[in-house]
Structure 1
Amino acid sequence: MNKLSDHVDWQFLFREFWHLYRFGSAGGNAVIRSHLKEVRTRLNAELERNPRVEFEQPIRLPVCAWLNRAIDRGLGERTAPMVRSLIRVSNQLTWKYGYERMRPGLARKYAYAELMGPNGPVMSENLILGMVLFAPRCTYPEHSHDGISESYICLSGSISDSNYSVFNPGSLLFNPPKRAHRMTTGDFEPTLLAYAWVGEPDKLSDQKMDFSAKK
């Protein structure tokens, strides 16, 4: 059986995830500190389990035209170790939209690649880790997640959260379950984010997000 231990570059990628969630700041916030620990605990359990790996056909979507620029910028930031690890597996990534219906224009400015989770390629029922890429001048519409605690760590570029805060490389955005949030990127540079979702297995395996339901 194809296992994570057979893929050294992927092992180091998840090690960099662990470091981000261990040494990144919680800003003195107990709720965020608990979330960071939960991600690490679940990731440790998955790595100990040595999960199976099931690669899909690699897919690049229109926004991937910005990926090289996002990587180049990220290599100059404190998040560079994660970005370098991402480079090693970038030709194996399956970029997706994740929605049955896309708002006009968003399909050219957004995509995500799941790295670990119910949909693989590294299989897990208890944790989802991945990457999100946004083009410049992208608005990701307001939405929320049922039963999912979500965090993003900015790897390159910048992003605003619901018109209240701006996050640069190394910053963490945290959204507890059902918190509505909207993200907007800068005018000139793409934004690359690492993300983690934690929740019960049934919630992780059956996330339904419909922009039309979010006002």
Structure 2
Amino acid sequence: MAARAPCPESADSLVRIATAARLTGRPGAAPQRLPVCTWFDRALDQPTTAPDLAALFAALRALSPLMVWRQRPGDATASANFPQAHANAMLLGPGGIEDRQDLWLGLSILAPQTSYPDHNHKPEETYLVLSLGEFKQGTSDWFEPGLGGSFYNPPDIWHAMRSGAGPLFALWALWAG
């Protein structure tokens, strides 16, 4: 993620996260897989010529049996299919493979034609986008970072994501320390 950081704030956040991640947290929750995770498997199968993304996909495939996938409630800004058409997996963070409070490193998968609700949170956040899909921040228009694109969300900014004809797959890192 650091190699693709889009701005100094993102790079600084990712350095803090990487430094904190050197300390091991507590063992996390038992693995859990949801039906929507078939889209996760398909997202990992997409071809990429970028060596860093190919290595990341291989690492995520290896971690897959340990992942705890959960769904969150939607709201009026989410698509009608949202409850069954999305999942989030926390790798490092609250309820993740490694349970900790100082940082959150996780994944989101959206089935095709799914809108994630508008939301905000105190921790700053960097996304690494691992598929096609659209995002918005604050009052901006929707934008598509593309496979391997990255962007930074400052603390408390409203943001959302949505998939198109294919699934949306993204890795996110939040500094909560």
* CA–CA separation in structure 1 for the residues paired with 2:108 and 2:59: 15
Report which structure shows greater RCO (CA 8 Å, sep ≥6): 2
Q: 2:161 aligns with which of 163, 178, 183?
A: 183
Structure 1 unmatched ranges of 5 or more: 1-19, 27-31, 201-215
Secondary structure of 2:27's counterpart equals: coil
Larger radius of gyration: 1
Asked whether the equivalents of residues 133 and 168 of structure 2 are also in contact (C-alpha less than 8 Å), the reply is: yes
* CA–CA separation in structure 1 for the residues paired with 2:126 and 2:13: 11
> Where in structure 1 do 4 or more consecutive aligned residues deviate above 4 Å?
100-103
Q: 1:90 aligns with which of 53, 64, 69?
A: 64
Question: What residue identity is the alignment partner of 2:92?
Answer: M
RMSD between aligned residues: 2.2
Deviations 1:19-72 (A, max 9, x none): x21x1142xxxxx3222222223322331x2x1442422211221121221010
Structure 1 position 168 matched with structure 2 position 146? yes
* CA–CA separation in structure 2 for the residues paired with 1:144 and 1:25: 20
* CA–CA separation in structure 2 for the residues paired with 1:70 and 1:88: 14
TM-score by length of 1: 0.70
Counterparts of 1:70-109 in structure 2 under 5 Å?
70-73=43-46, 75-78=47-50, 79-99=53-73, 104-109=80-85
TM-score by length of 2: 0.84
Distance 1:77 1:99, change over 3 A: farther
For this pair of structures, how many residues does the alignment match? 169
* CA–CA separation in structure 2 for the residues paired with 1:174 and 1:65: 28
Identity %: 25
